[in-house]
Amino acid sequence: MSLASLRVMVVEDHGFQRRMALRLLDELGVRAPMEAADGAAALSQLDNGQPPPDVVLVDLDMPGMDGIEFIGHVAQKRLARAVALVSALDPALLNTVQMMARAYGLHVLGSIEKPLTAEKLQALLERYEEHLQQGVQEEHVDIDIGSLRHALRVGEIVPWFQPQAEFANGKVVGVEALARWVRHDGHVIGPQHFVPLLEADGLAEDLTVAILDQACHWKRHWQDKGLRLNLSVNVSPATLHDPAAADRYQQLVASHGLATTEVVLEITESLLMADAARGLGVLARLRLKGFGLSIDDFGTGYSSLSQLSQVPFTELKIDQGFVFGAHSQPRKRAVVEASLDLARKLQLETVAEGVETVEDWQMLAGLGCGMAQGYLVGAPVPATELAETVRRWRRPD
């Protein structure tokens, strides 16, 4: 997709600044952008059954319906594919609004500080194109639970792999296995659409075993070809209620001729843990057997410090919501710095998720982060494409 084919809307109450944005978009080749002077007027245009715009550029401080309320309506009604904030307001407020929009499931490109320039707009719109090419943008998917059970049973739910590179030397040293539903018609469905349904249906353990088994198969395959990579696999906290889980996972890994010391099990911090006593016992046994344990999405839950003190984690993954854009947002950078400092004191490995720009890479490298995971290094890809993805990767200067 070229910039000329993008559908863009500008929502800005200040007449001069709105005209300036339209002129800059025209210079970049964006044809016939939509415009509105306030949130209510923009909603009336969007809510008319026409195809949604690709990107909505919205000011926050507008009379009547402000930009925050407007974004809430857009997200809930799916009236746009992505939004970007155009504002000179406090960065902490802008960050909060971005987090709100993402919580609604809306793709957020970031924020642009006023005054607008062609360079700022071009970088923003190109970011949308990159995400689109990498398959991040998905339409709403209606899923029948019967079809989902069948998909798990016949092997349509498979791991895709996203590389992890060391900041110190740029070498790809690991991959995270991420579940994808590859339907018989070739359509790929992301995990946010089906994993919660499987967990609610009592199939969390079946999903974990299926992904771990397939991921170990591919790790062994790459290893035999000379590509040695550590493997990270997500484990649903629902599986931690089974005392036999540690033995089962150990046997599965061993069946592929692999060592548990090369496998990291990721547990999402915001979901850990319903049955603390039993869960802690399972996690302790996993560590005893050699598995690494990673606290995923660190900082997004409300019990981060208590979890770190109770669970024998070996790795801390900093959530992408804090990483992306941290080089230019002091509050995000402060969270990243504090997380890395805490990890060092607890002697944990560190992985930053959502590394998408050279600027963020350079900032994280300077702060002493261990590994990077994100679209700068590589998007999640099918197993057959991973070796080529690793080959193409070049460390930023």
Does the residue 140 lie in any domain? Answer: no
Q: Are residues 338 and 197 in the same domain?
A: yes
Q: Are residues 127 and 150 in the same domain?
A: no
**Rounded Cα distance, 212 and 92, in Å:** 39
**Rounded Cα distance, 69 and 246, in Å:** 47
Q: pLDDT at position 32, please?
A: 85
Q: Are residues 90 and 207 in the same domain?
A: no
Q: Are residues 78 and 177 in the same domain?
A: no
Q: Are residues 240 and 371 in the same domain?
A: yes
CA-closest candidate to residue 396, choices 67, 222, 160, 166:
166
Q: Which of 108, 133, 158 is the last residue of a domain?
A: 133
Q: Are residues 339 and 210 in the same domain?
A: yes
Does the residue 397 lie in any domain? Answer: no
Residue 88 belongs to what domain range?
3-133
Q: Are residues 97 and 56 in the same domain?
A: yes
Q: Are residues 228 and 270 in the same domain?
A: yes
Q: pLDDT at position 269, please?
A: 52
Q: Are residues 52 and 182 in the same domain?
A: no
Backbone dihedral angles phi then psi of residue 341, each to the nearest 5 degrees? -65, -45
Q: Are residues 129 and 149 in the same domain?
A: no
Q: Are residues 368 and 236 in the same domain?
A: yes
Q: Which of 69, 104, 133 is the last residue of a domain?
A: 133
Question: Measured in whole angstroms, how far is the alpha carbon of residue 51 from the centre of its chain?
Answer: 26
Q: pLDDT at position 141, please?
A: 66
Low-confidence ranges of the chain (pLDDT < 70): 1-2, 129-141, 269-277, 297, 299-307, 397
Q: Are residues 273 and 179 in the same domain?
A: yes
Q: pLDDT at position 58, please?
A: 93
What CATH number should be reported for the domain holding residue 103?
3.40.50.2300
Active site residue ranges: 353
Structure tokens at 55: 């990107």
Question: Measured in whole angstroms, how far is the alpha carbon of residue 304 from the centre of its chain?
Answer: 19
Question: Whose structure tokens read 């949604």?
Answer: 52
Q: pLDDT at position 136, please?
A: 44
Q: pLDDT at position 137, please?
A: 44
Does the residue 313 lie in any domain? Answer: yes
Tell me how many domains the chain contains. 2
